[in-house]
Amino acid sequence: MFIVKQLYDLQLLDWDIQEREQKLADIQERLADDSKRISAKQRVDRIAARLTDLGTPRRQHEGAIQQIESRIGNIDKRIFSGMVTNARELEAFEEEKANLQRQHSDEEDSLLEILVEIEELQADDIQAKQTFESINSDRESEIIELQSNEATLDEELPDLYDQRNDMAAEYPPIALATYDMVKKRRGGQAVALVERGACLGCRLTLPTHELQKVRTTQEIVQCSSCTRILVIA
Ligand SMILES: [Zn+2]
């Protein structure tokens, strides 16, 4: 024979199922979220790309400096060869040399700026790679653990669904319908235990006649305040 207390067993089973379903959903959400690892990898890639980008201007400035130095060398050779005797020609060479030296100094400043940035990026690169490695290895262990927990839940849940179906099949349809309706309306809790004359669902003391009815009948008695199905603890 069906007794109302069995609805409390159903509620415990439903809570158990719900808790596991929630855990499974959390696990699946965490498995899908690879954002931390992706953003660490993106940082490594951004630094590498910037280092590559700096290669071209670096080579250009280095090439320009070499060219300027060789032109200055040629002018010096001409000046010190003793072949240039004309004062105006000599002056023109000196002027060109001074001009080249200014260019040389500008090129060196630009190159230095790039070299400083490269040095900073190389330090960032080491640090970003270490961070990525650590996040990556943590994530790999996390995935193994999450997948193992997921597999356990995937195995447990079907058994619980079977148990629930078996249990529900034995209950009178009207009892189940009441249970489902109150469960929906009362935040997933259809059954409330009665302890020291109070409904533990809403914490209110039950009127004497209501309490009496729960104690003596086999009918479903609902709390007059929160409508939950009352079961003596
Ligand atoms: Zn109540």
> Within a 10 A sphere around the Cβ of 48, how many other Cβ atoms?
14
User: Are 147 and 191 within one domain?
Assistant: no
DSSP 187: T
Residue 82, pLDDT score: 83
34 C-alpha vs ligand 1 centroid, how far in Å?
44
Residue 72 pLDDT greater than 90, yes or no: yes
* pLDDT, tens only, 76-126: 999 888 888 888 999 999 999 999 999 999 999 999 999 999 999 999 999
Residue 36 pLDDT > 90, yes or no? yes
Q: In the predicted model, what is the mean pLDDT of the chain?
A: 96
What pLDDT does residue 216 have? 93
Any domain includes 81: yes
CA 106 / ligand 1 centre spacing (Å): 85
Q: Which domain holds residue 223?
A: 5-10+173-232
Helix (H, G, I), strand (E, B) or coil at 4: coil
What whole-number distance in Å separates Cα of residue 229 and Cα of residue 85?
118
* Cα 189 to ligand 1 centre (Å): 11
Centroid of ligand 1 to alpha carbon of 158 (angstroms): 32
Same domain, 144 and 194: no
Share of the chain above pLDDT 90, in %: 92
- Whether 133 maps to a domain, the answer reads yes
Q: Average the pLDDT over 22-45 and give the result.
A: 98
Assess whether 163 and 187 both reside in one domain.
no
Residue 54 scores a pLDDT above 90: yes
Looking at the fold, whether 166 and 179 belong to one and the same domain comes out as: no
Say whether both 191 and 153 belong to one domain: no
Q: Do 161 and 178 have their domain in common?
A: no
pTM of the model: 0.77
> Looking at the domain assignment, is residue 178 inside a domain?
yes
Burial zone of 43 (CB within 10 Å; 0-12 exposed, 13-18 middle, 19+ buried): middle
18 within domain boundaries: no
pLDDT of residue 85: 82
pLDDT for the residue numbered 169? 92
Q: How many angstroms separate the alpha carbon of residue 103 from the centre of ligand 1?
A: 89
Cα(5)–Cα(155) distance, integer angstroms: 29
Distances (CA, A) of 48 to 87, 100, 132: 54, 34, 14
Do 165 and 185 reside in the same domain of the chain?
A: no
What is the whole-number distance in angstroms between the Cα of residue 112 and the centre of ligand 1?
A: 78
The CATH number of residue 161's host domain is: 1.10.287
Asked if pLDDT for residue 163 goes beyond 90, the answer is: yes
Separation CA 58–CA 81 (nearest Å)? 34
Tell me what the mean pLDDT of segment 11-27 comes to. 97
**Residue 125: predicted pLDDT:** 98
pLDDT surpassing 90 at residue 63: yes
- 52 shares its domain with 165: yes
Q: Can you read off the two tokens belonging to residue 2?
A: 């069906």
The number of distinct structural domains making up the chain is: 2
130 plus 97 within the same structural domain: yes
What integer pLDDT is reported at residue 106 of this predicted model?
A: 98
User: 109 and 215: one domain?
Assistant: no
Would residue 26 count as lying in a domain? no
Q: Over 90: is that where the pLDDT of 48 sits?
A: yes
